[in-house]
Amino acid sequence: MVCLGNICRSPLAEGILQHKVSEAGMNWIIDSAGTNGYHVGEAPHHLSQKVGRMHGIDISQLRARKFVAEDFERYDKIYAMAEDVIDDMRQIARNKFDDRKVELIMNEVFPGQNIDVPDPWYGPEPGYHHVYNMLDEACEKIIEHAKTKTQKTI
Ligand code: 4NP
């Protein structure tokens, strides 16, 4: 899960997907990172923590890190919160950038529509609830699609 700061959107996405994966009894490794590195080492924004907590998801232990080119070697799938994040990822990863692994997260819900998860950083609390709802829906679809794929390969 990748956003700009790794303190608002992507830690919430990590927490939500981790929660759903655990509930589904799956053993995926979930992680998140940010492309700008301004907040490396910081805990998630207090409003992301609050919104997560309201849904039983504790992200307080997560710490921001910067996205690195090697993430393309470590992970099978990389979800970006927005198109500007993909541009940054391309700059950082250079020849390691792999288009087949990258998807805008909201395309899981609205395929091909390229909808961004809005950056709540500059705004008040309702923006964080909106982001939570978008990410919850997207993560639900990620699990649903993975289950359908598994069934097809059995
Ligand atoms: P995020 O939000 O990408 O959802 O973590 C942001 C947090 C901080 C900044 C930008 C976006 N910043 O520029 O400091």
From first to last of the 154 residues of the chain, give the pLDDT tens digit. 999 999 999 999 999 999 999 999 999 999 999 999 999 999 999 999 999 999 999 999 999 999 999 999 999 999 999 999 999 999 999 999 999 999 999 999 999 999 999 999 999 999 999 999 999 999 999 999 998 877 766 5
Could you count the other beta carbons within 10 Å of the beta carbon of residue 154? Answer: 4
Distance 7 CA to ligand 1 centre (A): 6
Active-site residue 90, yes or no? no
Catalytic residue among 8, 71, 88, 119: 119
**pLDDT at residue 148, as a whole number:** 87
**pLDDT at residue 66, as a whole number:** 98
Shortest-distance Cα residue to atom 3 of ligand 1: 4
Shortest-distance Cα residue to atom 8 of ligand 1: 5
Residues 14-39: pLDDT tens digits?
999 999 999 999 999 999 999 999 99
Pocket of ligand 1 (CB under 6 A): 3-9, 34, 36, 38-39, 119, 121
Rounded to two decimals, the pTM is 0.96
The residue length of the chain stands at 154
**pLDDT at residue 1, as a whole number:** 98
Q: Which of 82, 83, 85, 38 is nearest to 64 (CA)?
A: 38
**pLDDT at residue 154, as a whole number:** 54
Active-site residue 99, yes or no? no
Compute and round to an integer the Cα radius of gyration of the chain. Answer: 15
DSSP for 87-148 reads HHHHHHHGGG--GGGEEEGGGGTSTT--PPPP--TTS-HHHHHHHHHHHHHHHHHHHHHHHH
Shortest-distance Cα residue to atom 9 of ligand 1: 5
**pLDDT at residue 9, as a whole number:** 98
Compute the distance between CA of residue 62 and CA of residue 60 in angstroms, rounded to an integer: 6
Q: Write out the two tokens for 134.
A: 């978008």
Mutate to test the pocket of ligand 1, among 32, 36, 134 (most ligand atoms within 8 A of CB): 36
Which residues does residue 80 pair with via DSSP β-bridges, in sequence order? Answer: 2, 104
**pLDDT at residue 101, as a whole number:** 98
Spell out the domains of the chain, with CATH numbers in brackets.
2-153 (3.40.50.2300)
Separation in Å, CA 8 to CA 94, 119, 144, 148: 25, 8, 25, 30
Distance 38 CA to ligand 1 centre (A): 8
Q: Which of 149, 128, 77 is nearest to 107 (CA)?
A: 77
